Every structure is written in structure tokens, then in C-alpha cells.
Amino acid sequence: MAKIRIRQFKSAVAIDPKETDAHFQLGRIALEQGRLKDAFESLQTVLDQNEKHSSSEILRELGRMYLAAKQYEDARRELAMYIDRRPYDPEGLYYYGQTLERLGDATGAREMYARAVEAARATPRFRQRYTAKWSRLAQKQIARLPRP
């Protein structure tokens, strides 16, 4: 299934290199597959074309990519901008917590995880199935962190 989607998005980009969403989807797929170089190229193209693409989710995906690449300062920069724009996204808050935890900021990480749990609880009913995942992951991380 992913191969078909990749072909479709690559065809869209071949037809119109400014097709921002096709680049975005290619970057997300590459990130899911662990192809960080390909993810970076696609996501950077999106950022160059429109840094507010998909309600600024481009910043979250770049932060997630940098987190996977263990480039924690870069991840912090992108995710901080994302959280400034979308302070109630449980997924972004979770990734930001992960980044802060990797940087040794347990207090900041705990705060982001707690915000992720709260944001997931405040999500409209039709999105709760999706956001519950981020709440569960954040709660596990909170339990693992040393008490302040």
C-alpha cells in the first residue's frame, strides 16, 4: 500500500514540483519507514514552500525527524515553534517532551507530557480515538521520570 502511495505522490511532484502536500506526504512516509535522508529532503522542500503547511504540522514532522536522528537541539527548535502555534496538539507535545527528556530536562519533559495528557482529554469526541495514543504514551513517560 505504501509503495502505491509513494508512486502517486512522486507522480504528483513530477507533474508539479510545487505540489506541497505531495512533498509533505512523501516526507511523512519516509519518516515512518526510517528513511531520514529522504524525509529531510521532502520536509525541507515543504518548509521552503510553505512553513505553515497543514496547520504548521510541517514543524512537528521536522521536529519528529530530528528527534529520530538524535539531533535534539534541532528537534527542540522546530517543536518549540510548533507548540507556540499549536499548543493543544497531544502528538506535538509528546514529541517535545521526548526531546526535552533526551536533553536532560526532566522538569520540562514532565510538563510537556502532562500537557499532552490534558490536550488529549480536551479533544473533541470524534478525535479521541486518535489522541488517546498520545495520552497513553505520555502517561508512561511521566511514570518513568524521576519525581521532582
Q: Which pLDDT belongs to residue 116?
A: 98
Q: Judge if 81 and 33 occupy the same domain.
A: no
Q: What is the pTM of this model?
A: 0.92
- Tally the C-alpha atoms within 13 A of residue 10's C-alpha that lie toward its C-beta: 9
The answer to the question of residue 58 being in a domain is no
- Contact between 77 and 96 (Cβ < 8 Å): no
Output the domain CATH number for residue 2.
1.25.40.10
Domain interval for residue 79? 72-148
Mean pLDDT, consecutive 10-residue segments, the chain of 148 residues?
Answer: 87 93 95 95 95 93 97 98 97 98 97 98 92 97 90
